[in-house]
Structure 1
Amino acid sequence: MNEDLLQYVWRMGLFSQSDLQTISGETIQIIKRGHLNTDSGPDFSQSRIRIGEADWVGHVEIHNKASEWYTHGHHLDPAYNNTVLHVVRIYDKPVERLDGSIVPTLEIGDRLFPEVVANFSKLTLSMGWIPCENHLPDIDHFTKTMMMERAVVGRLEKKSEDIIEVFKMCNFDWQSAFYNMLSRNFGFSVNAAAFEMLAKALPLRVIDRHRENLHELEALLFGTAGFLEKDSEDDYSKKLQDEYHYLKKKFTLQQMDVHLWKHMRMRPANFPEIRLAQLASLVHRSSHLFSIVLETKDVKELKKLFSTDVSDYWFEHYRFGAPAKSKHGGNLSEHSAELLLINTVVPFLFSYGKHTGSDHYRQRALELLQVLKAEENNIIDKWKGLKVTPANAYDTQALLHHKKFSCDLKLCLNCPVGNKILQRKIEE
């Protein structure tokens, strides 16, 4: 049997607790089951167990078979010396602490609620898109809300970890870290890695020196990205090439291989050249962008901050030297701007708040998600098919995280919905 299930059974008290006795026949009263330990060491700490007439405070260790105490080397580990109770499904041998003393053992194999075991098996053996898809439509709104609240915070915590790593890489400079992550997210998944490489090859200190001149910014970005290698016949491209040759020598820039950029199966509006032109415009229009983000509370003002005004060339081209059949909107769409807010601004507000100990910024991050539109993608469509309809970006971010880090891993024991399903027949 899965040891995680046994830990869950102990934590939730999902077993018959009448007339409990140790293997040696002493009475057991569970006063406090303790706190689950997610690190190394015994499974539960600060447990309080009455055995016979004595009250014991210490650890509880859970195993499928008692002999696993030795398999896992606990008899040699001083961290287990304060284990006051060994809870097992099957008792197959007595166990000792490092000092040779016997650990009291409780066998619960015949005390498990059969419906919990059966429900857990159904969830873990499910071949559905998510384990609980046949049960989800019947789950109450409160439980689903609890699931979403945990998941959205989990997503922001996960992204915060990534941001802090970038922050450290940028010598603890928030402006540079924001520029790096914003650049990556301008790749909108397909070209994210290439944009990240570009930001590392073209650091913010170089960008800042030419921020006020859009032409020079474009030369830096397009040139370092590798798009100015081929000779071009139009004046715009030639001028960028000339400018880049000078700037490349000035800053000893390392040029990327242009083949790293992807165009296949992509709408022209998402081509990397268009995104680079938009990034150049955004950087050109806003100095110290992260500082402005911290000060801007109104979502409309944030959207304005992420509006762009690209060079005229990009209203008539999607790629260098290849005129479009007709004029098109070369600027960043409202939809794309919202995605940048969701994937860059929100996580940075949360991470900054966490790093500085400010609940204000963490709360702002959550509130911003609640006023941004729900995202649209294949995963969200699947959730909608299960009658889970997101109202905003707060919900979609929660659902995306929950699918990847809970449902796909079948961590139903840690999920409010999974808990509800496991205990359904007991409650009824």
Structure 2
Amino acid sequence: MKEDFLHYVWQYKKFDFSNLKTCAGDSVIIVNSGQYLQLAGPDFFNAQIILNEQKWAGNVEIHLKSSDWYLHQHENDTAYDNVILHVVWENDVPIFRKDNNEIPTLELKNYVYKEVLENYLKLKTQKSWIYCENQIKTIDDFALQNWQERLFFERLERKEIPILALLKETENDWEAVLFCMLAKNFGLNTNGEAFLKIAKSIPFSVIRKESFEIENLEAVLFGMSDLIPLEAEDNYAKDIQKRFDYCLQKYQFQKKINPQVQFFKHRPDNFPTIRLAQLAMLYNTYQNLFSKIMAITKTDDFYKLFDISVSNYWQTHYQFDKVSAKKKKKFSKSFIDLLIINTIVPIQFSYAKSQGKEITEVILNIMNSIQFEKNSIVEKFAFFGIKSQNAFETQSLLQLKNEYCNQGKCLNCAIGIQLLKN
């Protein structure tokens, strides 16, 4: 058993509270169980109880054993001076305030409804993947959809954290933030962090000023990524090396990073050379990319926006000095979907918040129109009866698995609470 079960029982009054008595035999009437804030300090704030006909207002602390009070050193924390009731599963030692008065203790194991405890133990019995794997498909659609929406926005708020960090680093330059986040996602899992380092190392003013000439953009990106061969054979490589050296001198910024981009295990279309060439072409095509992206409200318009190719050289190359069959190397639909899910929607969400605008429905419409993601977590949920129809649902399931199931937070989960009620 974990404390979260006792929190649930106390919060939702899943026990017989008609004739409560403390361990000392005093009668207890719960007027208000308090606010469950899940912050530092006591578990429930601003509770009200009547103890032997005297009304008390203060906080309630909950533990599995009363001795946990001393184990957690609450006796030395002034935040616990206003605890009026200690709620425990097992009372093993008396607890005293600093003035040596004993804190009233309520032992819950004598009052919890039998079926509630049985449902909890059934839910928390170890399974092969998640605790509720044999029951989750019984959750009604309405409850599941409401919970998925909350999960989705929780995940979106988590994705907002690195955006806000970049915003601070760039002195509130949203265009620079977009460039860095796009670069990271162009690098995918293998080169994402390397591409982010590259993007952060280039003043966005350089990208902005050189965006009219594709060769200069490519020179800066390839130069900062250490991909230009030291002894190049073809004229293109020699030319962009000269352009890169010129840009370093012109804008007075230095190459201080060693990004170590990887080709290993990538299909040719995902080679870092191709992804950087696509990023360069994107900013060469749109000098006002940020404003365009912020104005789009439909998924089809994103597909049109990203309908671009690479420069002539990279249409016949995957690597420097190695000619290949000509291919325009446009963005695939699945790649654009990844950009929308992991970069564009989070930035739209964050920017709208900063401007005090409400775009919840726009974001939901975009995510509902994107095909569901294919990964092991989504497939496993489908195996247990929760099948996804779109990216909104798959993103919510990723949040559910990573932040609730993996953490054993069944009683912070609407599904777990619903199963306990059943």
Using the size of structure 1 for normalisation, the TM-score is 0.92
**Shift of the alpha carbon at 1:275?**
0.4
Counterpart selection for 1:384 from 369, 382, 392: 382
Write the deviation string for residues 51-89 of structure 1: whole angstroms up to 9, x where unpaired.
Answer: 232232221111122222233232333322222211111
Separation in 1 of the partners of 2:72 and 2:375?
44
Task: Could you tell me which runs of 5 or more consecutive residues in structure 2 were left unpaired when the two chains were aligned.
Answer: none
Matches within 5 A, 1:37-52: 37-52=37-52
**Shift of the alpha carbon at 1:121?**
4.0
Matches within 5 A, 1:85-124: 85-124=85-124
Cα distance change, pair 421–267 in 1 and its aligned pair in 2 (3 A): same
**Shift of the alpha carbon at 1:256?**
4.8
**Shift of the alpha carbon at 1:20?**
0.7
Write the deviation string for residues 132-152 of structure 1: whole angstroms up to 9, x where unpaired.
Answer: 112122222123223312210
The match for 1:327 is 326
The match for 1:400 is 398
State yes or no: 1:271 paired with 2:305. Answer: no
Which shows bigger deviation, 272-281 or 384-393? 384-393
The match for 1:225 is 225
The match for 1:313 is 313
Write the deviation string for residues 368-396 of structure 1: whole angstroms up to 9, x where unpaired.
Answer: 21222222223222222222221211111
After TM superposition, where is structure 1 displaced by more than 6 Å over at least 4 residues in a row? none
Write the deviation string for residues 192-223 of structure 1: whole angstroms up to 9, x where unpaired.
Answer: 01101111221211211211111111111111
Instruction: State the AA in 2 paired with 1:43.
Output: D
State yes or no: 1:349 paired with 2:342. Answer: no
**Shift of the alpha carbon at 1:249?**
3.1
Which shows bigger deviation, 248-257 or 130-139? 248-257
Asked whether the 8 Å contact 1:226–1:256 carries over to 2, the reply is no
* DSSP 3-state at the match of 1:59: strand
The match for 2:187 is 187
* DSSP 3-state at the match of 2:84: strand
The match for 1:368 is 366
The match for 1:286 is 286
Separation in 2 of the partners of 1:130 and 1:287?
47
* DSSP 3-state at the match of 1:86: strand
**Shift of the alpha carbon at 1:317?**
1.8
**Shift of the alpha carbon at 1:114?**
4.1
Asked whether the 8 Å contact 1:223–1:255 carries over to 2, the reply is no
Cα distance change, pair 388–200 in 1 and its aligned pair in 2 (3 A): same
The match for 1:420 is 418
The match for 2:171 is 171
Percent identity of the aligned residues? 37
Separation in 2 of the partners of 1:394 and 1:254?
40
Instruction: State the AA in 1 paired with 2:254.
Output: L
* DSSP 3-state at the match of 1:38: coil
**Shift of the alpha carbon at 1:125?**
4.5
**Shift of the alpha carbon at 1:123?**
4.2
**Shift of the alpha carbon at 1:119?**
4.0
Instruction: State the AA in 1 paired with 2:79.
Output: A
Separation in 2 of the partners of 1:90 and 1:31?
23
Which shows bigger deviation, 108-117 or 370-379? 108-117
Separation in 1 of the partners of 2:65 and 2:156?
38
The match for 2:134 is 134
Separation in 2 of the partners of 1:397 and 1:8?
27
Separation in 2 of the partners of 1:367 and 1:34?
38
Separation in 1 of the partners of 2:377 and 2:78?
47
State yes or no: 1:158 paired with 2:166. Answer: no
Separation in 2 of the partners of 1:304 and 1:269?
20
Write the deviation string for residues 17-53 of structure 1: whole angstroms up to 9, x where unpaired.
Answer: 2311122322222222111131211110121222232
Which shows bigger deviation, 409-418 or 283-292? 283-292
Write the deviation string for residues 315-334 of structure 1: whole angstroms up to 9, x where unpaired.
Answer: 2222112222x333412122
The match for 1:197 is 197
Task: Could you tell me which runs of 5 or more consecutive residues in structure 1 were left unpaired when the two chains were aligned.
Answer: none
Instruction: State the AA in 2 paired with 1:321.
Output: D
Instruction: State the AA in 2 paired with 1:289.
Output: L
Instruction: State the AA in 2 paired with 1:13.
Output: K
Aligned length: 421
Asked whether the 8 Å contact 2:309–2:328 carries over to 1, the reply is no
Cα distance change, pair 222–36 in 1 and its aligned pair in 2 (3 A): same
Separation in 2 of the partners of 1:55 and 1:95?
21
Asked whether the 8 Å contact 1:352–1:361 carries over to 2, the reply is no
Separation in 1 of the partners of 2:120 and 2:24?
31
Write the deviation string for residues 213-241 of structure 1: whole angstroms up to 9, x where unpaired.
Answer: 11111111111111113323333223222
The match for 2:254 is 253
Cα distance change, pair 255–78 in 1 and its aligned pair in 2 (3 A): closer
Asked whether the 8 Å contact 2:127–2:133 carries over to 1, the reply is no
Asked whether the 8 Å contact 2:185–2:339 carries over to 1, the reply is yes
The match for 1:61 is 61
Separation in 1 of the partners of 2:69 and 2:227?
62
Separation in 2 of the partners of 1:256 and 1:274?
21
**Shift of the alpha carbon at 1:252?**
3.8
Separation in 1 of the partners of 2:163 and 2:234?
40
**Shift of the alpha carbon at 1:126?**
1.8
Matches within 5 A, 1:70-89: 70-89=70-89
Instruction: State the AA in 1 paired with 2:421.
Output: Q
**Shift of the alpha carbon at 1:271?**
0.8
